């Protein structure tokens, strides 16, 4: 047994503090109400990094992201989302451009209401 080297413990593998990056783009007035320090801290504890996206710059160049969340609706942003989704088809986008257009179309919202088979009640509830 005299020839056995002392057993050494292998160093623990180093883990990146953030293993999942979530990009987000919100209206400026919503940033302070949605992205608050407790949310950022809780995400970090779970290995997630919340990364603000600048809608005035190319979305494709701002990643990489594992998930993209947004609440912006103008045409230039929609074009960016479509380009991003084409370049990164495996990255989920919440809400996808096709869903945004459908939801923003008041006619489509009224179509859903008109198709409801709920009884109409006149008077107080």
Q: What is the DSSP string of 11-42?
A: PPPP--S--EEEEEE--HHHHHHHS-HHHHHH
SS3 at position 94: strand
Residue 101 has pLDDT above 60, yes or no: no
Residue 91 has pLDDT above 80, yes or no: yes
- Token representation of residue 35: 């992205």
Question: Which of 23-27, 48-52, 59-63, 104-108 shows the lowest per-residue confidence on average (mean pLDDT)?
Answer: 104-108
SS3 at position 68: strand
33 within some domain: yes
Tens digits of residue pLDDT in 31-79: 888 899 999 999 999 999 999 999 999 998 998 999 999 988 888 998 9
Per the model's pLDDT, the better-predicted residue between 107 and 99 turns out to be 99
**Which residue segment(s) compose the domain that 39 sits in?**
20-113
Q: Return the pLDDT at 4.
A: 44
Rounded mean pLDDT of 28-33? 86
6 within some domain: no
**Average pLDDT of the chain?**
77
Rounded mean pLDDT of 92-110? 65
11 within some domain: no
10 within some domain: no
Count up the domains in the chain and report the number. Answer: 1
- Token representation of residue 36: 């608050």
Cβ-based neighbours of 72, under 8 Å, separated by 6 or more? 25, 26, 27, 55
Q: Return the pLDDT at 37.
A: 92
Q: Indicate which CATH number applies to the domain containing 40.
A: 3.40.50.11370
* Predicted model pTM: 0.65
């Amino acid at each position: 047994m005299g020839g056995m080297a002392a057993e050494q413990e292998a160093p623990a593998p180093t883990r990146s503090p953030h293993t999942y990056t979530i990009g987000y783009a919100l209206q400026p007035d919503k940033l302070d109400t949605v992205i608050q320090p407790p949310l950022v801290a809780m995400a970090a504890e779970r290995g997630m990094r919340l990364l603000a996206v600048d809608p005035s710059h190319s979305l494709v160049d701002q990643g990489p992201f594992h998930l993209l969340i947004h609440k912006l609706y103008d045409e230039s942003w929609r074009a960016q989302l479509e380009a991003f989704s084409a370049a990164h088809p495996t990255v989920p986008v919440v809400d996808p451009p096709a869903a945004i257009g459908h939801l923003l179309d008041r006619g489509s919202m009224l179509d859903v209401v008109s198709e409801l088979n709920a009884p109409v009640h006149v008077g107080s509830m």
